[in-house]
Amino acid sequence: MAAKGAGKGKVTTQTLRERKANGERIAALTAYDHLFASLLDQAGVDVLLVGDSVATVMQGRDTTVPVTMDQMVYHCELVRRGANRALVVGDLPFLSYQVSVTDALRNAGRMLKEGHAEAVKLEGGRAFVPTVEKLVQAGIPVMGHLGLTPQSINQFGTYKTRGTGAAEQATLIDDAKALEQAGAFAIVLEKVPADLGRRMAEATSVPIIGIGAGPHTDGQILVTHDMLGMFTRFRPRFVRRYRELADEIAGAISGYCDDVRNGTFPSSDESY
């Protein structure tokens, strides 16, 4: 069943701008495969981000740094085939857009041509204005990502809250305005104080989609496997768990193992 307020039509970058203009919030989640994409799409999620978090959630890596462009294209293609209504955004992985604008254009183009994404996301502020401009000119919608930028973990050394001091807050607001000016259609804002989330949403006309950025942003995004309680390796404070599926799955699997071992599966009804 679709969520209340989901709306019926296909979600586009234009829809998201209109949502902000009308004061309607955007519900976004991550997806990495066809099955989850179709479940989330049918339930009324507006934006499916094929996040580079696939590295930590699905590949068992410690950070998002190792995931490759080929792997992201592969996951994007699976998700796109499961999504009829939601906007599908492919995350550009580490070093796929930082080397040169030409490189970024080629890789973002692959995300659309081979992964069938409808937009791409990249991390960073003013330094990436020429890249955002080039992609937008080429017809590739770009979502920015500010605040905590996990691809830079080796530089920062910590996943602590960003934008806690006045200078960093001013930089983040300027970065958001610069991305908007360059043509980004939305910006993910990760792990900043709630008041900064509100100020950044007020300072821009493009939607600010928060993750750990408080209740005043124009939308929210979470990692699906976090909010379903499937990924339990770490639990940021900003994650609300709507289910505890890791426990459910463990219960189901141990029940199956018991039934096989004690001979109660399969029954005569389950046999030919």
Q: Any idea which residues carry the catalytic annotation?
A: 190
**Cα dihedral 78/223/159/133 (nearest 10):** 50
Span 162-191, contacts to ligand KIV by CB under 6 A: 188
Min. distance of Cβ 265 from ligand KIV in angstroms? Answer: 37
Q: Which is nearer to ligand KIV, 111 or 188 (CB)?
A: 188
- Binding residues for ligand KIV, rule CB under 6 A, total 10
Min. distance of Cβ 3 from ligand KIV in angstroms? Answer: 19
Closest CA to 88 of 75, 100, 79: 79
Q: Which is nearer to ligand KIV, 20 or 145 (CB)?
A: 145
Span 72-101, contacts to ligand KIV by CB under 6 A: 91
Q: Judge contact between 2 and 44, C-beta under 8 A.
A: yes
* 218 scored as a contact of ligand KIV (CB under 6 A): no
Residues 6+ apart with CB under 8 A from 240: 222, 227
Burial of 261 (0-12, 13-18, 19+ CB in 10 A): exposed
Q: Pick from 41, 46, 52, 118 the residue near ligand KIV by CB under 6 A.
A: 52
Nearest residue to ligand KIV on Cβ basis: 51
Q: Which is nearer to ligand KIV, 49 or 112 (CB)?
A: 49
C-alpha to C-alpha distances, 206 to 6, 169, 195, nearest whole angstrom: 19, 18, 18
Q: Judge contact between 212 and 237, C-beta under 8 A.
A: yes
Give the three-class secondary structure for 220.
strand
Q: Which is nearer to ligand KIV, 57 or 173 (CB)?
A: 57
Min. distance of Cβ 221 from ligand KIV in angstroms? Answer: 5
Q: Please state, in angstroms and rounded to a whole number, the distance separating the CA atoms of residues 194 and 210.
A: 9
Both tokens of 164, joined, read: 């806690």
Which stretches of 92-242 are assigned E, i.e. beta strand?
119-121, 142-147, 186-190, 208-211, 219-222
- Whether omega before 266 lies within 30 degrees of 0, making that bond cis, reads yes
* 118 scored as a contact of ligand KIV (CB under 6 A): no
* 221 scored as a contact of ligand KIV (CB under 6 A): yes
Return the range that interacts with ligand KIV (CB under 6 A); candidates 49-57, 99-107, 124-132, 170-178. Answer: 49-57
Return the range that interacts with ligand KIV (CB under 6 A); candidates 44-52, 97-105, 126-134, 246-254. Answer: 44-52
Q: Pick from 223, 229, 230, 231 the residue near ligand KIV by CB under 6 A.
A: 223
* 211 scored as a contact of ligand KIV (CB under 6 A): yes
Which residues contact ligand KIV (rule: CB under 6 A)?
A: 30, 49, 51-53, 91, 188, 211, 221, 223
